[in-house]
Amino acid sequence: MQQSQAEAIEIAAKSHDIGKIGIPETISHKPLAELTPEELDIIRTRLVDVQKILRMLTGLDDVRPIIQIHHENYDGSGYPEGLRGD
């Protein structure tokens, strides 16, 4: 069953930080600019892990991409992929 865009955004909003499970609070509460390269790698790895978990759940095809890119920024300074633009 495919969700409407609003439903997909709602589900993503409620579950987007599921990847923080297992990340020490000393890392997860730091601003992005203050993360060390090692800490950023830990966060990126968790995002990949979350995507693996979400792929096992049915009906979330429209939600996964939203969760995957919710830390991206228009200027390319976000993560995990440093996407730039629209």
Report pLDDT for 2.
61
Q: How far apart (Å, rounded) are the C-alpha atoms in residues 10 and 26?
A: 28
pLDDT at 1 over 70: no
Q: Are 66 and 16 in contact (CB under 8 A)?
A: yes
Q: How far apart (Å, rounded) are the C-alpha atoms in residues 1 and 20?
A: 27
Average pLDDT of 39-55?
80
Calculate the average pLDDT of the chain: 84
Query: Tokens for 46?
Result: 């968790």
Q: How far apart (Å, rounded) are the C-alpha atoms in residues 76 and 56?
A: 29
Q: Which of 28, 22, 23, 3 is nearest to 13 (CA)?
A: 3
